[in-house]
Amino acid sequence: MISSKDMEGYAEGFLGNCPHTDWPAVLKQKTKRTISLIVLGEEGETNYNYFQASELVKDPGFDFSKRTVLYVGGFLDSPKHIEAQAIGRFYKTLGYNVMLFQADKFMIVHYPIAARMIRPIGHAIAEMLTNLTADHMDLRKFEVIGISLGGQISSFIAKSYYQLTGNKIPRIVALDPAGPCFRNNDANNRLDDSDADFVVTINTNIDGYGMAAPVGHVNFYVNGGEYQPGDIYYIPCTIMCSHTRAYFIWLVSIGNPDAFIGIKCDSVQEARRHECFGKDPLITHTLSPDRVNASNPGIFYLATNTTWPYYLGKKGLTRDGDVYKTKVLDFNSEEVMRI
């Protein structure tokens, strides 16, 4: 018997469908107090809840002449965790104002409930941002970064902001945006390139906690996007390890702006199979906050090293630099194995 996809079927992915997550969900007025933006200052941080958005413009650590980034964490995440604090501090070194999304009350419930609630949560954050941009903040200098479920929350922030103002958020960077409960949704109910002027996705676990669809203008599929190599390179890191790898790659890219270079592919399937090498012309795209841009859209295969800090630079542009091609698949390169 010769197997085929028609025989095997196609993977639905973890929680490919979550019934009723697109049904109405409403935040009570008193509940809105649990949603806030935290401004990261030089020596501390200040929390502004939904009803205190007008006070944020007076924060001494906020300089409206600078660029501003909002970091949105994922399921079971919190701005108190080291991941949010670390990326916030890195952006501070680049001269950004930094805001951290806080809605812990909704991030520690059952996942399908969290997936449903991000719609009104996104709307509430959009209302806060509307007040900021109406008063002081220059929208052209604003961007959102979201990891996992935070990538989908970013989508609903942007959708709601557009509904409220008629303007699109300039840039969303989605770090392995959550696939569970979203991967089979239409564009109105998940992250989409129509949400912002420029949407970037970094995909590291597309069949697990991420999603395979190239929903951004620029979509990086790291080592094919399915699973990432571990420190022992022939043993892939597991779902959570692979899912969070997107965060660490973006974090490293902040301080190493030319270190991660992707190769353009014709399809996601080509990226999955590591078959994007050797094209003529070879079209590349550099992944980092100040290098990635909308002028070169598409699907890009990004080869990395197995260990921190992961980047390969120009070595990753050839098959010889690909971990899977040169190490994992090379074990049986001998025509006759004699042991």
Known active-site residue 148: yes
How buried is 339 (Cβ within 10 angstroms: 0-12 exposed, 13-18 middle, 19+ buried)? Answer: exposed
Q: Which of 123, 243, 274, 285 is catalytic?
A: 243
233-268 confidence digits (pLDDT tens): 777 789 999 999 999 999 999 999 999 999 999 999
Asked, as a colleague might, if the bond just before 19 is cis with ω within 30 of 0, I would say no
- In the predicted structure, residue 7 carries a pLDDT above the cut 80: no
- In the predicted structure, residue 46 carries a pLDDT above the cut 70: yes
- How far is residue 293's CA from residue 214's CA, in Å, rounded to a whole number? 16
How buried is 46 (Cβ within 10 angstroms: 0-12 exposed, 13-18 middle, 19+ buried)? Answer: middle
- Which range has the worst mean pLDDT, 16-30, 65-79, 277-291? 16-30
- In the predicted structure, residue 30 carries a pLDDT above the cut 70: yes
Task: Tell me the CB-side half-sphere exposure of residue 202, using CA atoms within 13 A.
Answer: 32
Known active-site residue 136: no
Q: Which of 176, 195, 207, 322 is catalytic?
A: 176
Query: For position 1, what pLDDT does the model report?
Result: 62
75-103 confidence digits (pLDDT tens): 999 999 999 999 999 999 999 999 999 99
Question: Residue 150 is encoded by which pair of tokens?
Answer: 């935070």
- In the predicted structure, residue 44 carries a pLDDT above the cut 80: yes
Query: For position 13, what pLDDT does the model report?
Result: 67
Give the pLDDT band of residue 11 (cuts 50, 70, 90).
Answer: low
State the pTM of this model. Answer: 0.93
Give the pLDDT band of residue 193 (cuts 50, 70, 90).
Answer: very high
Q: What percent of the chain has pLDDT over 70?
A: 95
Question: Residue 328 is encoded by which pair of tokens?
Answer: 């994992």
Query: For position 84, what pLDDT does the model report?
Result: 93
Residues facing 49 on adjacent strands: 36
Cβ neighbours of residue 64 under 8 Å, at least 6 residues apart? 57, 97, 136, 137, 138
Query: For position 265, what pLDDT does the model report?
Result: 97
CB count in 10 Å sphere of residue 73: 27
- In the predicted structure, residue 19 carries a pLDDT above the cut 80: yes
- Residue 324 backbone dihedrals phi, psi, to 5 degrees: -70, -40
- In the predicted structure, residue 165 carries a pLDDT above the cut 90: yes
Mean pLDDT of the chain: 92
- In the predicted structure, residue 35 carries a pLDDT above the cut 90: yes
Kindly list the structural domains of the chain, giving each domain's residue range(s) and its CATH number in brackets, ordered by start.
22-328 (3.40.50.1820)
Query: For position 94, what pLDDT does the model report?
Result: 92
- In the predicted structure, residue 3 carries a pLDDT above the cut 80: no
- In the predicted structure, residue 325 carries a pLDDT above the cut 80: no
Query: For position 314, what pLDDT does the model report?
Result: 94
Q: Which of 148, 155, 160, 288 is catalytic?
A: 148
Known active-site residue 295: no
Give the pLDDT band of residue 10 (cuts 50, 70, 90).
Answer: low
Give the pLDDT band of residue 324 (cuts 50, 70, 90).
Answer: confident
- In the predicted structure, residue 47 carries a pLDDT above the cut 80: yes
